[in-house]
Each structure stands twice: as structure tokens, then as C-alpha cells.
């Protein structure tokens, strides 16, 4: 994947399921299935299910995808 610079103050801490799935190149149904199976933690925020950047990165490493985000000065700042 390409690296997309994103200043820490602009990087969202949580992502919608479609956005998270798009970041890792999988279908949203696949990510929702992993959530249902307990492989990924997510939370309902109003009517939208959200996943944290840290949880997405953890799941991506567990399924063999490597590091998803590069560390910046204050945490994850770039998408690989």
C-alpha cells in the first residue's frame, strides 16, 4: 500500500466499518464477520459501528498483513 501522510491531529481515532475495510482492501462484510466472530472489537456509536485504528492494525497484523500504520510523534500518523 502507499503511504498517505496524515497529521496526528487530523487522523481519526475510530473508523467506520466501510472505511476500515477499504484501508485494508477487504469487503465490509468480511470485517463485520470478523467482528461477529470476536476476532475484532468494535463499538456502536449512535447508529454507526466503529473500530479503533489500533484494533484494525492489530487484526491486520494477526491475519498476516504486517504493519498498517507507521508511528508518528504522537501515535499512528500514516497509512502504509
Classify residue 5: in a domain, yes or no: no
Classify residue 67: in a domain, yes or no: yes
Whole-model pTM?
0.71
Classify residue 56: in a domain, yes or no: yes
Classify residue 49: in a domain, yes or no: yes
CB under 8 A, 24+ apart: contacts of 52-58? 52/13, 52/14, 52/15, 53/11, 53/12, 53/13, 53/14, 53/15, 56/15, 56/20, 56/23, 56/24
Q: What is the pLDDT of residues 11-40, one digit of tens each?
A: 778 999 999 999 999 999 999 999 999 999
Classify residue 43: in a domain, yes or no: yes
Q: What residues make up the domain containing 66?
A: 16-75
The number of distinct structural domains making up the chain is 1
CA distances (Å), 14 to each of 44, 57, in order? 11, 12
Q: What is the pLDDT of residues 36-75, one digit of tens each?
A: 999 999 999 999 999 999 999 999 999 988 777 766 533 4
Classify residue 2: in a domain, yes or no: no
- Is the pLDDT confidence value at 9 over 70? no
Amino acid at each position: 500500500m502507499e503511504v498517505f501522510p496524515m497529521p496526528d491531529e487530523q487522523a481519526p481515532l475510530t473508523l467506520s466499518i466501510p472505511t476500515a475495510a477499504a484501508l485494508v482492501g477487504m469487503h465490509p462484510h468480511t470485517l463485520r464477520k470478523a467482528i461477529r466472530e470476536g476476532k475484532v472489537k468494535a463499538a456502536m456509536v449512535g447508529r454507526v459501528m466503529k473500530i479503533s485504528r489500533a484494533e484494525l492494525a492489530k487484526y491486520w497484523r494477526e491475519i498476516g498483513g504486517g504493519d498498517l500504520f507507521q508511528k508518528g510523534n504522537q501515535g499512528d500518523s500514516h497509512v502504509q
